[in-house]
Each structure stands twice: as C-alpha cells, then as structure tokens.
Structure 1
Amino acid sequence: MNDKNNWEELIDRHLRGELDEAEKERLAKLLDSNADARQEFVEHVQWDTEMSEAVRESSHSPRDADILAAERAKTDGQWASKPTFLRFTLAAAAVVIVALSAGLIYQLAYPVGEAPKTNNVATQHRVSDESIARITGLSGLLIWTGDRGQIVRDVKVGTELAGGTIEGMTPDSWFEIQFNDGSTVMISGTSTLTITDPGQKELRLREGFFSANVVPQPKGKPMLIHTRSALLEVLGTQFDVEANLASTMLNVTEGKVRVRRLSDGLEVDVPAKYRVIAEGGGDLTPQPVPESVIHWKSQLHLRPGCYGKWLPATEQRAAAQKAIPLVPPENPGITLYLLGIPVSRSDGPPVVVRSDSQFVVRGRLKKPAKVYFGIAVSYANGDFAGKFRGDLDRQQPISEPDEAGQFEVVYRISDFTLDPCVHDRKEELAPMPDDLVLNGVWAFTHTGGPNGLEITEVELVPP
C-alpha cells in the first residue's frame, strides 16, 4: 500500500473511532510534517462539503464560479472511491483530526509558505467579505470552520460570518448568531451546525440541540433546516430542534413549521405548542407538548451521555459515563476530567428545575476528589437562559469513595450561581435556574491527574 493510501486509511479509520493511541499519534505526526497529506485534506474540505458549495455560489462572481467548477473537476476523481459518509463527515469533523496536533491548526488553515500577512482572523471582526450573520453570544469550547476549510478557535462576539460550521466541543458550549434580517439561531452542548444564505437561509444540524427565532422569510424562500432524518421549512416562527443519528424532535412555540421525513417523504405541518418526532417508521402525527415534570433521572443504562466515554452495564457494575481529559485552550497548563449528560426532550416531557429541589449525583471514584457540577437551562420557548454551577457559592467538599469506589454528593438548587463563563451576559440571562427547563448537566474534577470519575446516575429530586 502506498503512502497516499495510508493517509486515506488512517483518516477513514480515525473518523470511525477505530484508531488506538499509537495510531492517533502516528496520524498527528504525519499531518504535522507532511505537506502533501495536509493539502489532500484541505482540498477535500474545500470541495466536498455539501453546504460550502452553496456558500461559494453566493460569494463568488460567475467567472469565479467557473474557475472553481473547473478546479473541482480536477479533484473529484481522486475522491470518487471514498464512501459517501466520509466525504460528508470530513468537513464537519475536520477539527477532530486537527485536535490531534496543536501545531496542525495553523498549518491546515495556511499551507506551508502561505502564512497570512495580515492579523489572524481571530483578532478581527470579520471572517469574510460577504457577511450573512454575526455572533451575538457564546461560551465554552467552540470551533468555527469557515468557507474553504478555514479553522478558527478564537471566535468572538461581534465577529461577522459568511457561512460555515460551528461545533460545540463540550457539554457547556453555547453559541448564538443573528442573521442580517434579525433571525436568531442558537446551539448548545455538543452540537454541530452549518449555516449558509445564498439568497435563502439553509442550515444543517448534524447533531445536538438547536433553537431559533425566525422573522418572516421572503415568499417562496423559507428557512430550510436539514437533519439526518428530516427537512424543516420555516417561514417565521419560534421553535427548537433536537437531532441525533436516528431521529429529529421538533418543538414549536410560535407559528408553524413544515416537516418532511426523509425516509418516506411524508410531510406534516406542526402548529404552535405541538411537537413531532421524525424517525424511520414512527408516527409523524404532531402531539401536544406534554406538561413539564419536576423529577428526572438520567438513563445511562439505555443510552450514552453527550461527552465522555460510555461504559455499558455489566453483571458487576452499573452503566456509567466516564470523564475524559480536556485542556482548556485559554489555560493549557490545566487538565480537567469532564463528562456530560443531556436531558433529552425527544422521549419525555420538559424537566423544570424548582428552587427547593436538589441534584443527587452518584458514581465511582478511584481516589477522593472534589466533583464540580453544572447545569444548562433554557426558557420554555427554547431560548438560552444560562449556565449555573452548584459548587461556587460554598466550598465544595471532597467526595470520599467507599470501599467499593462508590460515592454520592448532593447539590441544592438554592446554592447554584451563574457560571463565570457567562458573567459577561448576566444582565441578559436568568439570575437563578428556578422554574427553567433543564437541558443538560456536566461534572468534572481538577486534581492534576486522572481520578477515575464515572457518573452512574444523576437525579433531580423535587421537594
């Protein structure tokens, strides 16, 4: 097998999660040192992202479009034998490969010998001359992949965007943009969203949680939202969406949204205060949004969390979500061990946090540690309401595992305070999580090394 086939096989297996640590290190070194391998990857990102073609159509002249089409014809043959899923996934998952090597980020954005002569885009307030939206809020670890595969980690409020993909990398990530017509969209948690507007807004939610407040759109040009299982047409409304590999849940707060299930082409209009779940073979009849509940338990025995390593149940132990290392970009000298668990609305009613409730967290530790705990909440209409921590108002005690390595810790809602990462928006956010909808929880340790943090259950206990 020649070197080029080796590159393709490594990238392919990495995206499927099949590489061991030694192979990951080998791939990182290859991409960091081999300009040809990097160029292959960059060209693929440039030409094989479905949404980037629409972006290019809106931002280039007809003559430019002809040149781009000719260049694409030269490269299409190189990738014709690639599996379809790989061609689509490479652009959206570009940052996964990039994350293998810290030095690789710069080299992917600017091939060898082509370093920019101007300031880095992260210090500017524009990433393209053809802006379709601007960032109005963000927090947590986020990565923006712009048109032509440009990767930007240090995105900022006020930055103007032409089109591309935003990826929330951790369970506490949050990102909001406003289109030029005033429509706003938001993602939270480990979500991936691609945006473009070549005369008609078109978005692709690959996975995660998304909400929007859409002003009336031009006649015949509704906002289109693609997921893996459905197509949504939006003329002007307020709604939220939760998407995963197998299904799409739509919850409409105001207005009306048309949903088309991709597996059979069946369409249905979903009115305000109704929701529908689009999945293969399921009922597509809109149902009233169920009444909220105030008691909730995680279901790790049925499904994995959204961040960390899922450990299925065995005869000897309960299922758990295991924390994995995270190095904050703003503080590379620190390593946190983090995990996240979503609160899905696709298979149950909204979960509301009461002021006198408490969270009980159960799990396993290999040695004593402080277990820090946070939550993300939204308003009933899906709008972001804030992130809160249950360990800041008072000194967090050290959790002591028993002889079997089990621990339990309680966090009272009355002790929760706004997470420092969103303090800059405290005037716009809720001061407390009381009576808000729970979207997800996360936990982490900071002990200078691994301590075996695994969460087996999180329970919201009402008064």
Structure 2
Amino acid sequence: MKDQNEFQELWNDYLEGEITTDGMIELQTYFAGDEQLLQNSVDSFQIHRLLGYDAQADEQHEAFVNSTMSQLLTRQHQVRVATDVRSSPDTAPSSPFPRSLTNRFLIAAIAVAASILIVLSYDTNSQNERSPIIAKTTNVHGAIEWTHENGMVEVITENNKPLTGGTLETMTGDSTVTMQFTDGTIVTLDGLSLLTISEQGQKILRLKRGNLSADVQPQPSSKPMMVFTEAAELRVVGTQFNVNTRDESTKLTVNEGEVLLKRTTDGESVNVVPHHQVVASLRDTSQLRSVQRVDQIHRWKSNLQTEASHGQWVPSLLELGGKLKSAVINGSMSEKAATIAYKKAASLNDQQGSLWALPSRFGLSVVVTVNQQATVPIVLEAGSRLRVTGRGYSATDLVVGITTNEPDAGFSGKYEQQINLTESMDPDTQEFSLEFPIEAMNVINEKFPASPIGREFVGCWCSHPTNQVTKFKITGIEIIGTESSK
C-alpha cells in the first residue's frame, strides 16, 4: 500500500509538471518493474491531457494548437535522433531511462498530441461530418428557434438554412417554417409548434405540439418516415397529410396516399386513406375510426373551451363568483343577494366563458384551432367576415390572424389584420367587438397566396406584441358567411 501511495504521489507530480529529477528516477524504477503499470499510466496521461484541452478557453485554442504542434514536431525529431543514436554501435544512450521506456513515452506523447488535434478539428470543423445535413429551410416567417443536437440554440431568420438533426420551434401565432429534405419531402410547421427531426436511414419526426403539414416523397417500405406524437405513431411511405396535436390528442388528415396510425395507449391501428381523418386520444380507448371528410361549410363559431390551443379558459361562472365576492367585501351587495345571484347563474348551466391571453417574451396571445372532431371543412368564401369579441383593458392595439390550408391539401398561408382598439373599445367597460371582411386581411409572407378566399380555415390567433399590457381576453370568434352560404 505504501509503494502504491508513493507511486501515485510521484505520478501526480509528473502530471502537474512538478516532479524532481530524483522523482523521475524513482518513477522510472516503478515502470521498469511493471509493464501493466506503464500501460495504465500512458492511458492516464492521455486522459489528463485531453481534459486539459477541454478546459482551455476559446481564446486560448490557437495558442494551444501551436504549442502542441511545436511539441509534436520536437518529439518527432527526438524520436529520429534516438533512432539514429541507437543505430550506431559506438554511441551509448544519453537518456537515464531504458530505451524501451523512452520509446514508449515518446510514442505515447505523439499519440496524445495527435489525439488532441483530432478532437480540436472535430469540434470546430467537422460538425457537418458528425451530423449530416438532412434538410434546409425554404420559407421562414416569424419567431423560430432551432436547437442543435449539441444543445446550442439558434434563431432562424433566413431561407436555405441547412438543418441537421435537432428541434424546431415556431414561437408565435404568425410563425411558420417550411423545410425540404434531401429527397424532396416538404414539411411545414406553423403556429405554436415544436418538432424534432432526425434521419438515420429513415426520417424520424417527433411533434410535441402544434401543426404539421407534409408532402412526402416515396419512402422505402422497410424504412418509412415515422411521425411520433404523445397520442399516436404515424407510418408514412409517401403521401400528403396534415397533423394537429395537443397534449392528449392527435388529429391526422390524409389528402393523398395512405398513412398507418397507431394509438400509443393500446397499440390499436387504422389505415387512413385520402379524404379521411382520424383522432387518437390518450383518454379515449374506443375503437379507432377513420372518418370521411365530406362537403364544406362557410360559417363557424368558436367553442373557446374546447378549441383553445393557447390561452387560459375561465368560465363565466367563475368570473361572476369573483365579482360577487368583491361586491360583498366592499359593501355594495349583501351576502344573501350575492348567493341568490350566483345560484341563479349556476342553474342556467351556462357554458360561456373567456379565453385569457398568456404572456411570453413575444407578448400576449391566444390561439384557437378548429375542433379536432369536426369532419366538415370550413372554406372561406368571398363576402365572408371575421368577428372577434373580447375585453382589452389597457391594450391599445391587437393583431388578429388566421391560418389556412389548401382544400384537400396542405398548408396554404397566414393572414392578419392590425386593429386599433382605442377606436373600437367601450371606454367604460373596455369591451370590444371587431368585424371585418376576411378578403381584406393582409398576407404575412409574399410566398403565400395573396388572398385567403377559397382556402380552408384551420385556426385563428389574437396577439398583442408587447408585455407592457398586463392582460386581454377573447369572448368569441366567428366566421360570418354570406346570406346564401351555409
């Protein structure tokens, strides 16, 4: 045990550059008598140097490389000199160490230096070799973040951005990003969505939340594209389909080809063919049914409680309870009168309420998506109008936007209207009722169709661009068709 402790102290001194001449002689004695100890020490030396490299600050990298290269060349020269000396029978070795030990240390030192240079090159110049490019962005709008496989986060603002494996997040209601894989497959992500992509022999997509539209080139049947959500697994060999996923449910709509959907809770599967849809839920264990999408309608009224994908739903009864409690506290209403008023409201079984905007670093927003169970497409027609009601409090402006798909196809575009609430809001109640022609809404990206008319409506968002406003709420969203529409 004593010998082991003494060796460890000598070896630590050597690694830290503090060993004396006498210490080197003692260390040589240990190595000469134990070949395995020598091998273990060489391994330890390599790890020590690599850890030392990892600890270098970025600004020291260049100096470190130059120093290592200099040492490498010097030691290579020493090896050649030592070889020449050994080849001469009249020359005795100048090193106090045995020849085999000297050679082993020199070889190990060269190997370590080479390893360090390889690591440096790998970290700074070979990212693409480690993670090959699998797609590139072709259309970008709004706030989008890309998290690389190594955890680095990057804001994407431009087209033709190469993508390796990683995670895309569209951060706001108006955000959208389209990417093209190397085989021509097109995938679009929009709204408040989160998607992880990878390709290791086959395309693997994991949609945590939001909306995805894909136009998939033919894939090998043995290596289909796989799309995973919390509630479902999709097997795709070539098709056009759209997916909307929330925490507990996933809706798949197929427009071309076929997609096999498997529910994650019990493994039940269903093959979805063109013009059909299916909803898989973590809560629903009934038989999966692929339902045909038929006809079309031109009117829609939101159910904020079930169709809100972003925002805090507060029932009117809960808000009434708060108001009555405040009235009792300030003396404007008796407790008995408040109780009667509350019971009367409760007896009506009123399902009305408000959708309160949630804050983020991009401002306040709510997002409403058409009910996943709806099987009849809502197609926007000329002359239709959008009505939004709510309460703005201290908000002075509002952005109202809509998301559309092409009928029986994928993502189409986004459109918005800037609203000055000071002109529309009741000064006493801060309530507002907005109504404007849908065809007058502005396209947010020049690559989208100029008008939403004739496209399928899939959702609406309302946002305030800053957090200077503390709150606003939406009480209703409605598409009003023409008199002749249904």
After superposition, residues 225-304 of structure 1 pair within 5 angstroms as 225-279=227-281, 280-302=284-306
Q: 1:337: Cα distance to partner?
A: 3.5
Counterpart residue number, 1:437: 456
**What residue number does 1:338 align with?**
365
1:166 counterpart letter in structure 2: L
- Give the alignment of 1:185-204 within 5 angstroms: 185-204=187-206
Counterpart selection for 2:443 from 418, 427, 440: 418
CA 1:368–1:214: 2 relative to 1, 3 Å: closer
Where does residue 165 of structure 2 map in the other structure?
163
Distance across 2 between alignment mates of 1:376 and 1:115: 47
Aligned to 1:321: 355
Instruction: Tell me which residue corresponds to 1:358.
Output: 385
Change over 3 Å in CA distance of 1:117–1:247 after alignment to 2: farther
Contact 1:307/1:340 (<8 A) preserved: yes
Deviates more, 1:351-360 or 1:383-392: 383-392
Q: Does 1:379 align with 2:428?
A: no
User: Which TM-score applies when normalising by structure 2?
Assistant: 0.63
Distance 1:224 1:237 in 2: 12
Contact 1:171 1:306 survives alignment (8 Å)? no
- TM-score normalised by length of structure 1: 0.65
Q: Secondary structure at the match of 1:460?
A: strand
Distance in 2 of aligned mates of 1:252 and 1:448: 39
C-alpha RMSD of matched pairs (Å) = 2.8
User: Structure 1 pair 363/270, CA: closer, same or farther in 2 (3 Å)?
Assistant: same
* Letter paired with 1:229: A
Structure 1 residues 449 and 246: alpha-carbon distance in aligned structure 2, compared to 1, 3 A threshold: closer
Distance 2:436 2:56 in 1: 51
SS of the residue 2:147 aligns to = strand
Q: Residues 395-451 of structure 1, C-alpha deviation per residue, up to 9 Å, x if partnerless?
A: 8872222644322111212321212xx13x2xxx21101011112212234688316
Q: CA deviation at 1:359?
A: 0.9
Alignment CA distance shift 1:253-1:155 (3 Å): same
Once the 2 structures are TM-superposed, how far is the Cα of residue 117 of structure 1 from its aligned partner?
A: 8.6
Give the conservation status (yes or no) of the 8 Å contact 2:421–2:432: no
Structure 1 or 2: larger helix share?
Answer: 2
Match of 2:471 in 1: 452
Of 374, 378, 397, the match for 1:370: 397
Which residue of structure 1 aligns with residue 11 of structure 2? none
Task: State the AA in 2 paired with 1:349.
Answer: V
- Cα offset for 1:239? 0.8
d(CA) in 2 for partners of 1:113 and 1:158? 32
Provide closer, same or farther for how the CA distance between residues 294 and 338 of structure 1 changes in structure 2, counting only shifts above 3 A: same
Shift of 1:310: 3.4
Instruction: Pick which of 130-139 and 292-301 moved more.
Output: 292-301
Instruction: Return the alpha-carbon distance in structure 1 between the equivalents of residues 206 and 460 of structure 2.
Output: 25
* Deviation (angstroms), 1:340: 2.2
Preserved contact between residue 242 and residue 346 of structure 1 (Cα < 8 Å): no
Contact 2:137 2:161 in 1 (8 A): yes
Shift of 1:363: 0.6
Q: Cα offset for 1:381?
A: 3.6
Report the counterpart of residue 182 of structure 2 in structure 1: 180
For each residue in 1:175-228, what CA deviation from the matched residue of structure 2 results, as whole angstroms up to 9, or x when unmatched? 111111111111111111111110111111111111111111123111111111
Identity level (%): 29
Distance 1:248 1:111 in 2: 46
Which piece of structure 1 moves more, 222-231 or 275-284? 275-284
Q: Distance in 1 between matches of 2:182 and 2:466?
A: 45
Residue in structure 2 matching 1:136, options 129, 135, 138? 138
Deviations 1:155-178 (A, max 9, x none): 521011111111111111111111
Residues 135, 161 of structure 1: 8 Å contact kept: yes
Contact kept in structure 1, 2:214 and 2:242, CA below 8 Å? yes
- On the 8 A contact 2:246/2:309 being kept in 1, the answer is no
**Contact 1:166-1:194 at 8 Å conserved across structures:** yes
Q: CA deviation at 1:372?
A: 2.7
Indicate the SS of the match to 1:411.
Answer: strand
Counterpart of 2:414, as a letter, is: K
Runs of at least 5 residues in structure 1 that lack an aligned partner in the other structure: 1-109, 119-125, 329-335
CA shift in 2, pair 1:201/1:448, >3 Å: closer
1:93-126 Cα shifts (integer Å, max 9, x gaps): xxxxxxxxxxxxxxxxx999458999xxxxxxx9
Change (3 A) 1:197 1:155: farther
Report SS of the residue matched to 1:251: strand
SS in 1 for 2:457: strand
CA contact (8 A) 1:215 1:236 kept: yes
* Cα pair distance change 1:310/1:117, threshold 3 Å: farther
Alpha-carbon distance between aligned partners in 2 of 1:400 and 1:366, rounded to the nearest angstrom? 9
For 1:314, the aligned partner's letter is L
Structure 1's 238 and 170: CA in aligned 2 closer, same or farther, altered over 3 A? same
Determine if contact 1:212/1:239 at 8 Å carries over to the other structure.
Answer: yes
Give the residue type in structure 2 aligned to 1:265: G
Amino acid at match of 1:277: V
Q: Tell me what 1:86 maps to.
A: none
Structure 2's unaligned 5+ residue stretches are: 1-53, 63-125, 321-351
Aligned to 2:12: none
2:310 — aligned with what?
307
> What whole-Å deviation, never above 9, does each CA across 1:360-415 have from its counterpart, x for those lacking one?
111112247333311121112442222112338xx887222264432211121232
Residue number in structure 1 paired with 2:35: none
